């Protein structure tokens, strides 16, 4: 699995922006089968920063209805990546 397969997209939410500004965290959507070690290596290589800690959370897809048709969204995984003190979190809006 390559680093571009591991890191799916950044999650830009109010909670993620607050964590980025206050605690030097990056909030990312990652592949479902990626583990913490893979996420750490991908972030360090792609953004040229040092990672201190990675926390992950799995989410089940929600039921969505469109009229009489029903289906489920895909399951997904979120990663909180804490950087070493002094490292700057990449700006995702500038990428």
Is the pTM higher than 0.75? The answer reads yes
Confidence label for 93 from pLDDT (cuts 50, 70 and 90): very low
- Is 61 a residue whose pLDDT tops 60? yes
Q: What is the largest CA-CA distance in the chain?
A: 53
In DSSP terms, 27 is beta-bridged to 80
Tell me which residue of 47, 45, 43, 77 sits closest to 60, measured CA to CA.
77
- Span 19-47, mean pLDDT? 92
34 pLDDT tier (thresholds 50, 70, 90): very high
Residue 64: per-residue pLDDT: 96
Contact between residue 39 and residue 83 where contact means Cβ atoms under 8 Å apart: no
Phi-psi region of 45 (alpha: psi -120 to 50; beta: other; left: phi over 0): alpha
Give percent of the chain above pLDDT 70: 96
Return the bridge partners of 78, or none: 29, 57
């Amino acid at each position: 699995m390559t680093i571009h397969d591991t890191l799916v997209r950044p999650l830009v939410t109010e909670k993620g922006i607050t964590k980025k500004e206050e605690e030097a965290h990056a909030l990312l959507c990652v592949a479902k089968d990626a583990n913490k070690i893979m996420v750490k290596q991908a972030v360090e290589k792609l953004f040229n920063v040092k990672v201190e800690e990675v926390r992950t959370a799995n989410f089940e897809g929600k039921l969505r209805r469109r009229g009489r048709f029903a289906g489920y969204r895909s399951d997904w995984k979120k990663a909180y990546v804490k950087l070493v003190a002094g490292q700057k979190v990449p700006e995702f809006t500038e990428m």
